[in-house]
Structure 1
Amino acid sequence: MTAPDVRRHDDADVLVGDVASALLDRLEAAQARGEVPQIGLTGGSIADQLHRELARRAPDSAVDWSRVVFWWGDERFVPRDSEDRNARQAREALLDHVGIDEANVHEVPASDEVVTAEEAAEAYSATMRSEGAGFFEVLMLGIGPDGHCASLFPGHPVLEARDAIAVAVHDSPKPPPDRVTLTFEAMDRCRAVWFIASGEGKADAVARALAPDGSIEETPARGVRGDETVWWLDAPAASGLPT
C-alpha cells in the first residue's frame, strides 16, 4: 500500500467533475481488459452530486453500465423505501438512468425484509462471498466531521471487528441508530480507495485522518487503505492541511 495521494480542487463542482472523469476512465480501462469492475458506493451530499454528474455523462461514455457491479460501504437499517437509504439515493441519482443489470446491484437487506441488522449484515456478507470479486476496483468513501467513514464511528465497538465482512452497528451517534457497515478488513481489499470530502466542516477530520500521527480509535478514516488511496478534496475540506 502506498502513501495517500491528496488531490485538491478549487471548489465542489471541480472536485465532482474530476472524480467523475477519473471513475469513468477507470471503469472503461477495466472493461477494456475484459473485467467486470466492482465498485463500492457511498452516501451523502457530495456523493449525490457525483452520481448525478456520472448519469449526465453516461451517454457520452464508453462505460457499459450493465457490466459494472455495485455495492455499498454501509447502509442505514431502515425500510427499503426510506429516504435515509444510501441505495435509494444512488438509484434516484445514478442507477435508474444508466442501463444497469439489476443482478449486479447488491443492496444491504432493509428493515422490512429482515428482522435485525445482524441478519442484514450476515446476508450482505454471504452475497459478497458468493458474488464478489474478492476486491473492489474502487471503493468510494466519505468522511464525517468526527472522522468516521462508512458506519465506523470513533470509539465504537465495531472498530474491533475481525474476520468479518459486514457487521451490525447499533447506537450510532448519527441517526438512524441501526446500520450495517463493511469492516476495515473488507474495505482494505481494494485496488483503490477514494475518500471524497467537501466543505470546511470536514477540514479538521481530513487533517486528522492524514496527519503523521493519530489513532484509528479517534479517527476511523485513518484505518482504510487500498493498493492506491486517494483523497479528493475541495479547497475548504483541505484547508486544515499543510500548504
Structure 2
Amino acid sequence: MTNERRVLVHPDKQALTGSVAARFLTKTVDIIDDLGGANIVLTGGTVGIGVLQAVNDSPARDSVDWSKVHFWWGDERWVPKGDADRNELAARQALLDNIAVPPGNVHPFAASDELDDLDAAAVAYADELAAYAADGARYPRFDITFLGVGPDGHIASLFPDRAGIRETDATVVAVRDSPKPPPERLSLTRPVLNSSDRIWLVLAGDDKASALGLALAGASYTEVPVAGAKGRKRTVFFVDQDAAAQVPANLIAPSY
C-alpha cells in the first residue's frame, strides 16, 4: 500500500477551507459506500473549525449519511464543558449541531467539570476508543484524521521535546505542561494518529511556514512533531500560499 505525502497549495484561507470541505464531503460519501461507515478525527483551531463551517455551508452537506459517521477528537483542552476553549464546543457550533448525526456517534473527551482528574479522563477516552474497536484492537479504524499545526510544529497536543510526542504505549496522554495555554490537555498519541488511513493537515499563515518546511525536509518528529504525521495510505498538507513559503517546488502537487 503506497503512502503518498503531498502538499496542495491554495491562494488564501477561504479557498483552502472551501476546498478541503468539498474534498471531505466527497471522500466521506465514498468511504461510507465502500466500508459502510466512517470514523473521522477532528481538530480545533481557526482553520480546522473553518473547514467544518465550510462543510456546514456547502449545498452538498446532506449528501453524506451522517448516521453512519462517528466523530472523534485528536485532542482537547482540560476546561469546563461550556468553555469557549473546548474544541468540542467549536465543532458543535460549526457543524455537528446542524447535521443528523446521532448523539452516540459523537465522542468528545471529558471536560474538567465532568471528571475530577486529568489522568482519569485519559483512561476514560482510551476506554471509549477500545469500546468501538474491532476485536483485539485498542482503537477504531480511522478513515480521515484532521490535524492542525502550531508554529512550533506541534500536532494535536503533542509538543516538541515533551513526553507526549515520545509516547508509544498509551493511546491517550494527559498533558500538564503545554507551552500553549491552557496548560492541561488530553491528546491521542502519535501511533493512534498515524493509524488513520488518511491524515489531512490543514494550515494557513506565514507563521506556519517554518514548521512545514522543516517537516518536509526530514526533521526529527520529537523536535518538530508534524514531521512524524504519516497516514497509512495518504498524508496531505492543505495549505495557503503563506504557509507554503518554504515548501520545495517539487513537493507541491498540481491542483486537483
Shorter-normalised TM range: over 0.9
For residue 189 of structure 1, what is the amino acid of its counterpart? Answer: S
Q: Which structure 2 residues correspond to residues 12-31 of structure 1 after superposition, within 5 A?
A: 12-31=13-32
Inter-CA distance 41–132: structure 2 relative to 1 (3 Å threshold): farther
Structure-2 separation of matches of 1:220 and 1:91 = 27
> Per-residue CA shift, 1:161-203, capped at 9, x if unaligned?
1221111001100000000000011111111000000111111
The count of corresponding residues between Structure 1 and Structure 2 is 242
Q: What is the aligned-residue identity percentage?
A: 39
With the length of structure 2 as denominator, give the TM-score of the two structures.
Answer: 0.91
Helix, strand or coil at the partner of 1:91: helix
1:79-98 CA distances to partner (integer Å, 9 max, x unpaired)? Answer: 11111000000000110111
Deviates more, 1:130-139 or 1:101-110: 130-139
SS of equivalent to 2:120: helix
Shift of 1:132: 4.0
The answer for the alignment partner of 1:222 in structure 2 is 227
TM-score between the two structures when normalised by the length of structure 1 = 0.96
Q: Match of 1:73, as an amino acid? A: G
Q: 2:122 is matched with which residue?
A: 121
CA RMSD of aligned residues (A): 1.3
The equivalent position to 1:159 in structure 2, one of 152, 161, 165, is 165
Gaps of 5+ in 2: 135-139, 250-256
Q: Deviation per CA, 1:142-167, whole angstroms, max 9, x where unpaired?
A: 00000000000011112221221111
Could you say what secondary structure the match of 2:127 adopts? helix
Q: Name the SS of the counterpart of 2:31 in structure 1.
A: helix
The 8 Å contact of residues 87 and 107 in structure 1, kept in 2 or not, is answered as: yes
> Aligned pair in 2 of structure 1 residues 52, 19: CA closer, same or farther (>3 Å)?
same
Given candidates 214, 220, 239, the residue that maps to 1:233 is 239
Counterpart in 1 of 2:131?
A: 130
CA contact (8 A) 1:208 1:219 kept: yes
Q: Which runs of 5+ in 1 are unaligned?
A: none
Is the 8 Å Cα contact of residues 77 and 179 (structure 1) preserved in structure 2? yes
> Deviations along 1:69-127, whole A, 9 cap, x unmatched?
00000000111111100000000011011111100000001111111211111000100
| AA matched with 1:218 | E
How far 1:62 moved relative to its partner?
Answer: 1.5
Contact in 1 for aligned 2:25/2:60 (Cα 8 Å): no
CA contact 1:198–1:236 (8 Å) conserved in 2? yes
1:201 partnered with 2:207? yes
Secondary structure in 1 matching 2:173: strand
Task: Check the 8 A contact 1:151/1:179 in 2, yes or no.
Answer: yes
Match runs of 1:2-151 below 5 Å: 2-57=3-58, 61-132=62-133, 134-151=140-157
**For 1:70, what is the secondary structure of its paired residue?**
strand
Residue type of the partner of 1:221?
A: V
> Are 2:173 and 2:187, in contact at CA under 8 Å, matched by a contact in 1?
yes
**1:6–1:230 CA contact under 8 A, matched in 2:** yes
Q: Any conservation in 1 of the 2:204–2:240 contact (CA below 8 Å)?
A: yes
Deviation at 1:34, TM superposition (A): 4.7
The range that moved more, 56-65 or 14-23, is: 56-65
Partners in 1 of 2:151 and 2:61 — Cα distance?
35
**Letter of the structure 1 residue corresponding to residue 84 of structure 2:** E
Cα 1:86–1:60 change in 2 (3 A) is closer
